[in-house]
């Protein structure tokens, strides 16, 4: 196998680094990713996002059932105050959410699934991983559950192509998060899942990648199980696996990388330093994959070199991996200084 294949890959708003004797660092980002390898880059034919961006017209068209009694006309709410936008949006959605709850309860009552006291047989919640973006990477079980849902709560990194699989009768509710703006807090998402499950609905929580890999699926599962709600997890292809396969880069390889490590590149409060970089993360016999590390990548690369990783280590950054908009940058880890990196990806 050609040595350059061990160099780089990244995916949708994730950052991934791989460390091996040849290509050791991958950066995966949903919107932009960075990698080190052979000083090359490739651009996608289109720069439009394959995902649901905040306040996009597509999102309001998809969720238009929530705004039937408002004057939004399926257009995004525009304001410089993100906190105000969030609060106004939730207020607009509340009447239709309450109405849907009532409709679902009445449906269960007509099916004899509710007691005279109004308590319905509890519904199920499915945590479904949708992979890195390509709908053909979904599992058969994921497709079946998506098509049979009453309500689907979806994240920003669930691709538009995946959302096209939702049945016409189902309702979609966007609960995506971006840096500096959360359409719903995690606690609000918990309560939504619980409320509709208590009404007997089949609720699907759609997440990019795998629900239990940097997806907060464990938190949602714990909360619902404590409330007596049955939760089923349907795994998805995590970005590291999907993008590595797309680019032909093995995460482990005999004689080169005998282990692989997934690391979050998230920073504290939106800063430029990653939360934590252990000294052994620079292990030359391991592949290091960094998720969500776009803003912290220069600092992360520097820390890895300080811990002993060679500056000539090949690395790769991939944006929107496995989608038609995929972009790849392949350089060495020492080139991930802020000025060089930004010049490469723009």
The catalytic residue positions are 155, 177, 292
- DSSP assigned state of 64: G
Please list, residue by residue across 329-341, b when 16 or more beta carbons sit within 10 angstroms of its beta carbon and e when fewer do: bbbbbbbbeeeeb
Which are the contacts of 246, defined by CB distance < 8 A and separation ≥ 6? Answer: 9, 321, 322, 326
Residue from 312, 306, 262, 255 nearest 288 by CA: 262
Three-state DSSP class for 167?
A: coil
Report, in angstroms and rounded to the nearest whole number, the Rg of the chain calculated over CA atoms: 21
Yes or no: say if 229 and 125 are a contact pair by the CB < 8 Å rule: yes
Helices (H), 166-296: 186-198, 217-226, 239-247
CB 301 within 8 A of CB 310: no
Could you tell me if residue 131 is left (phi over 0), alpha (psi between -120 and 50 degrees) or otherwise beta? left
User: How many residues make up the chain in this entry?
Assistant: 346
SS3 for 286? strand
């Amino acid at each position: 196998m050609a040595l350059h294949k061990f160099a780089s890959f990244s995916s949708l708003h994730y950052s991934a680094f791989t460390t091996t004797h040849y290509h050791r660092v991958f950066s995966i980002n949903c919107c932009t990713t960075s990698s080190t390898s052979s000083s090359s880059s490739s651009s996608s034919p289109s720069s439009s996002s394959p995902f649901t961006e905040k306040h996009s017209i597509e999102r309001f068209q998809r969720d238009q059932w929530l705004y039937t009694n408002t004057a939004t006309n399926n257009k995004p709410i525009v304001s410089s105050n993100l906190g105000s936008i969030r609060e106004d949006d939730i207020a607009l959605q509340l009447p239709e959410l309450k109405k849907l709850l009532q409709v679902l309860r009445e449906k269960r009552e007509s099916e004899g699934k509710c007691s005279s006291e109004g308590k319905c047989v509890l519904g199920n919640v499915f945590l479904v991983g949708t992979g890195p973006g390509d709908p053909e990477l979904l599992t058969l079980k994921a497709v079946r559950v998506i098509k049979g849902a009453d309500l689907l709560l979806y994240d920003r990194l669930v691709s538009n192509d995946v959302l096209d699989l939702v049945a016409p009768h189902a309702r979609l509710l966007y609960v995506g998060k971006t840096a500096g703006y959360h359409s719903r807090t995690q606690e609000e998402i918990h309560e939504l899942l619980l409320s509709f499950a208590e009404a007997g609905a089949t609720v699907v929580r759609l997440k990019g990648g795998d629900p239990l890999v940097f997806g907060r699926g464990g938190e949602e599962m714990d909360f619902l199980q404590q409330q007596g709600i049955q939760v089923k997890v349907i795994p998805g292809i995590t970005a590291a696996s999907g993008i590595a396969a797309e680019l032909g880069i093995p995460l482990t390889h005999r004689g080169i990388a005998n282990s692989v490590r997934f690391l979050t590149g998230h920073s504290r409060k939106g800063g430029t330093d990653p939360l934590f970089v252990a000294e052994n993360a620079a292990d030359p016999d391991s592949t290091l994959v960094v998720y969500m590390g776009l803003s912290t990548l220069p600092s992360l690369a520097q820390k890895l070199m300080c811990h002993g990783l060679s500056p000539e280590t090949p690395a790769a950054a991939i944006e929107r991996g496995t989608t038609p908009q995929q972009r790849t940058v392949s350089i060495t880890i020492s080139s991930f200084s802020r000025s060089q990196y930004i010049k490469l990806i723009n």
